[in-house]
Amino acid sequence: MNRKIIIAIIFIFGILSSCTKNFEDLNIDPKHPLEVNGGVLFTNAQVEMADQISSTNVNRNIWKLMAQYWTERSYTDEANWNIVNRRISDNMFQTYMAILKDLKDAKEIIGNEEAFFDSEKANQANRIAIIDLTEVYIWQRLVDMFGDIPYSEALDIENYTPKYDDAATIYQDLITRANADVANIDISEGSFGSADLIYGGNADNWQKFGYSLLVKLGIGIADGPLAALGQSTVENAYDKVFTNADDGAFFPYQASLPYVNPLYTDLVASGRHDFLIATTLFHAMDSISDPRINYYFEDITNPTTDYGYSGGSYSSKMHYNSVITAPDYKGFFMTYDEVQFYLAEAAARTWSVGQTADVYFDNAVTASIISWGGTDADATALLTTHPYASYIGGWKDAIGTQAWISMYTRGFIGYTFFRRLDFPEFSMPPSPPEGVTSVPTRFTYPINEQTLNADNYAAAAAAIGGDDLLTKLFWDIY
């Protein structure tokens, strides 16, 4: 049940019961009207986070379009990088801030619980660390979307005009927080139990998630002013990350309400046929006889659609495989193959991470192929004909291209691999916004921030070099 519904029900019962009490009972502090169980808020945050990341609703998530996995059939604004008409930045920003507020409140509630025994204290500490890791995951995502964002003054209901923090400074703080979180997790104790829909309260899995997140954070700043911090972060965490595909963080969508895959809602229940396979993705896979073609797509003898162009008749074109639109198709937060690609990149940069780049690269590609239903033989065939060392653009080409292909269900991660490594080659759509002459490197700030937090918005825009789709983030120096 949605958190807002739960709170509404509690509030109604409170009003009804007040009829038999003094009117003073209605004098509730509006800043803290009702206290909800911290586990309920954490569950709701996981659901909302999974839905936001998994959705392909053009009002709130267009990353599959930005990554050029898909394009649009009729209404092509978003594939042409028009993110203003639907206020996409506003919708995403507000959704993530609401999730972060839930997590902040959950952490505060749990922190105020009385714990007497050592096991209770360890359980409490585990829950707080798990919530904080989830916050770190979301904050990194927001920084990688926009650059400088409200952080230190964010989530304060009394502050409508929070200042923007420097993106690099936020990254440093996120790494500090994540390091503290993994250190605070006691894997011999429990945490949320069934309130945790991702790992069922398994502290060991959450600790692996935390170390994997540290690798992700470190690789995120591998170029630019924080490169040394990125290297030390990865080198300290690499041997404690996910060790197999089962360790990954997934959301277990179900075949019936309330936890249904948003792609089912967006693409099946709606009856809409808005998206087609972009030529960019299919040609990259077809050129190397990638075995995942048969798992990613249906009607593969039909033509694809050039990115940003109107696709015309839906029935005559290549389509996404219906497996991803099943109501119980899982949502993805972070996976084993993703982390192996990060480690391949770390090794390619000559960081000390235990294995060579080609070993991690092969692990990543193999894991991705098998996760889609392919076999070890399929992976071996691809890696034999197109090994790590064969890519013309070197390690950035090899890792960038294969990671982008592998992140097919995670548009934002695929788009970010492209932004960081500049591979593969993306296409220009026919009608980009005026002045946009290359692939966008960030999203522009929400319109609400421009109007309601104008002074801080203006300062942030100036600090990053302009609130423009082509402004590069601090880690994007090439």
Please identify every stretch of the chain with a pLDDT value under 50, giving residue numbers as ranges.
1-28, 31, 33
Tell me the helices (H) and strands (E) count for the chain, helix number first.
18, 8
Q: According to the model, what pLDDT value does residue 258 have?
A: 84
Q: Could you give the residue ranges of the DSSP H alpha helices within 55-87?
A: 63-66
> Rg of the chain over CA atoms, in angstroms?
23
Three-state SS at 278: strand
48: nearest Cα among 91, 90, 8: 91
215: nearest Cα among 249, 180, 178: 178
Which sign, positive or negative, has the C-alpha torsion 183, 474, 144, 414?
A: negative
Chain centre to alpha carbon of residue 363 = 22
Residue 313 counted as domain residue: no
* Alpha carbons 108 and 424: distance in angstroms, whole number: 44
Residue 357 counted as domain residue: yes
The CATH number covering residue 181 comes to 1.25.40.390
How big is the CA angle at 134 (ends 11 and 247), to the nearest 5 degrees? 125
Count of domains for the chain: 1
* Alpha carbons 396 and 380: distance in angstroms, whole number: 21
How many angstroms separate the Cα of 204 from the Cα of each of 184, 336, 340? 12, 15, 19
Contact 317, 303 (CB under 8 A): yes
pTM of the model: 0.93
* Alpha carbons 320 and 276: distance in angstroms, whole number: 7
* Alpha carbons 97 and 118: distance in angstroms, whole number: 34
In the chain, the amino acid numbered 251 is: F
Q: According to the model, what pLDDT value does residue 257 have?
A: 85
* Longest CA–CA separation in the chain, Å: 79
Residue 182 counted as domain residue: yes
332: nearest Cα among 249, 414, 227: 249
Model confidence pLDDT, tens digit, residues 117-127: 999 999 999 99
* Alpha carbons 158 and 42: distance in angstroms, whole number: 23
**DSSP characters for 130-175?**
HHHHHHHHHHHHHHHHHSSEE-TTTT-TT-SSPPEEPHHHHHHHHH
Residue 284 counted as domain residue: no
Residue 96 counted as domain residue: yes
* Alpha carbons 331 and 54: distance in angstroms, whole number: 6
Model confidence pLDDT, tens digit, residues 440-471: 999 999 999 999 999 999 999 999 999 999 99
* Alpha carbons 237 and 206: distance in angstroms, whole number: 14
Residue 355 counted as domain residue: yes
Residue 448, Cβ neighbours under 10 Å: how many? 14
Reading the block at residue 46, the tokens are 């996981």
Contact 442, 145 (CB under 8 A): yes
- Residue 199 belongs to what domain range? 35-259+328-464
163: nearest Cα among 145, 151, 146: 151
How many angstroms separate the Cα of 122 from the Cα of each of 71, 118, 185, 189, 204? 48, 6, 8, 7, 13
Residue 433 counted as domain residue: yes
Overall size of the chain counted in residues: 478
Residue 44 counted as domain residue: yes
How big is the CA angle at 195 (ends 51 and 34), to the nearest 5 degrees? 90
* Alpha carbons 151 and 42: distance in angstroms, whole number: 20
Show the beta-strand stretches assigned E in 214-274. 249-251
* Alpha carbons 91 and 272: distance in angstroms, whole number: 21
